[in-house]
């Protein structure tokens, strides 16, 4: 059952995030199927892999959740370089940033160099929630206030956690205002892209908002690997460095890359087509 299928599709890199292991919403069976049918040199786990918040309140752990963890550890043992970048739902793992657990490295954020030489900042992306909330007036106050708001967002949530409150989530705050979700996603992307530009990288790879996408914003390529609660998507890098989104839930009976992928190069036009639908389901990132 655990044997790697001979038909497993090989990628240079795979990014998955927002799995939310430990909750009923997690599509662990589909993810397991994806993991069994793919292999890669690099596997990035881009945050919210475990939903430690909700597990504290309401424990839900299915056998398939174990299987996902075992499968990932097995890949690491077999030579895949596994990099875990914690998110806000598993933020306690951030305390272990810079450490290795067996063959799994934990990092707050990572820089990935693609086969065609582009540098991507890899991070979960929750630190931009406050930026998005205050996007309108932050646009007027300039760069220092922006950096300050980023820090404030972090300390605000550290304080809330110490006081026993859950993480303040912009998306939950907005969930009863679904018409604002499009604007929210747009502001989020703008904030993430601005950070990538500030860091001098070619692109950014994140998760958090459960909306898979590959798009170019001028000189910066924005990639979001989606999630395994709603969209069941991964971001993949082909051996030549091209990036694509794989929608696993849509066709799991046969491998059909031409239907499942949207390819992107570093060319500046708008590339993704996955932004068109905004789920009206409550957003809980
Ligand atoms: Mn998140």
User: Which one, of 209, 221, 218, 219, lies nearest residue 275 by Cα?
Assistant: 209
Start-end of H helices in the chain: 28-37, 52-57, 63-77, 129-133, 135-141, 143-162, 170-174, 181-199, 257-260
User: Which one, of 198, 14, 236, lies nearest residue 121 by Cα?
Assistant: 198
The count of C-alpha atoms lying within 13 angstroms of the C-alpha of 19, restricted to the half-sphere facing its C-beta, is 31
Q: How far is the CA of 6 from the centre of ligand 1 (A)?
A: 34
Q: How far is the CA of 126 from the centre of ligand 1 (A)?
A: 6
Q: How far is the CA of 246 from the centre of ligand 1 (A)?
A: 20
User: Per-residue pLDDT for the chain (285 aa), expressed as one digit of tens each?
Assistant: 444 446 799 999 999 999 999 988 899 999 999 999 999 999 999 999 999 888 887 778 999 999 999 999 999 999 999 999 999 989 889 999 999 988 899 999 999 999 999 999 999 999 888 766 665 555 455 555 555 666 676 677 777 777 776 655 554 454 445 456 677 788 889 889 999 999 999 999 999 988 899 999 999 999 999 999 888 999 999 999 999 999 997 644 444 343 333 333 333 333 333 333 333 334 456
Q: Are 16 and 234 in contact (CB under 8 A)?
A: yes
Q: How far is the CA of 117 from the centre of ligand 1 (A)?
A: 28
Q: How far is the CA of 109 from the centre of ligand 1 (A)?
A: 14
Q: How far is the CA of 188 from the centre of ligand 1 (A)?
A: 12
CB contact set of 205 (below 8 Å; sequence gap of 6+): 15, 44, 46, 112, 120, 121, 122, 123, 223, 224, 225, 235
Superfamily of domain 11-264: Metallo-dependent phosphatases (3.60.21.10)
Q: How far is the CA of 208 from the centre of ligand 1 (A)?
A: 4
What are the beta bridge partners of residue 122? 110, 205
User: Which one, of 260, 279, 267, lies nearest residue 215 by Cα?
Assistant: 267
Query: What tokens were used for 51?
Result: 């939903």
Q: What is the pTM of this model?
A: 0.77
Q: How far is the CA of 49 from the centre of ligand 1 (A)?
A: 9
């Amino acid at each position: 059952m655990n044997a790697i299928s001979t038909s497993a599709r090989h990628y240079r890199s795979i990014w998955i995030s927002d799995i939310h292991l430990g909750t009923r919403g997690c599509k662990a069976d589909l993810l397991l199927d994806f993991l069994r049918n793919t292999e890669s040199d690099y596997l990035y786990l881009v945050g919210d892999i475990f939903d430690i918040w909700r597990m504290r309140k309401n424990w839900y752990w299915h056998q398939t959740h174990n299987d996902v963890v075992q499968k990932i550890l097995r890949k690491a043992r077999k030579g895949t370089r596994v990099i875990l970048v914690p998110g806000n739902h598993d933020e306690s793992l951030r305390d272990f940033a810079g450490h290795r657990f067996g063959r799994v490295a934990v990092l707050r954020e990572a820089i990935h160099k693609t086969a065609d030489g582009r540098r991507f900042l890899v991070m979960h992306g929750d630190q931009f929630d406050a930026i998005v909330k205050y996007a309108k007036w932050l646009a007027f106050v300039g760069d220092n206030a922006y950096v300050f708001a980023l820090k404030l967002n972090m300390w605000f949530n550290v304080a809330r956690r110490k006081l026993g409150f859950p993480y303040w989530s912009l998306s939950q705050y907005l969930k009863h205002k679904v018409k604002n979700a499009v604007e929210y996603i747009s502001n989020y992307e703008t904030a993430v892209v601005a950070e990538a530009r500030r860091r001098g990288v070619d692109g950014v790879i994140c998760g958090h908002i459960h909306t898979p996408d590959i798009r170019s914003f001028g000189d910066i390529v924005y990639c979001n690997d989606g999630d395994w609660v709603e969209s069941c998507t991964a971001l993949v890098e082909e051996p030549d460095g091209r990036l694509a989104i794989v929608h696993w839930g849509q066709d799991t009976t046969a491998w059909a890359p031409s239907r499942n992928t949207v390819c992107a190069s570093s060319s500046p036009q708008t590339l993704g087509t996955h932004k068109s639908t905004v789920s009206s389901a409550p957003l809980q990132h």
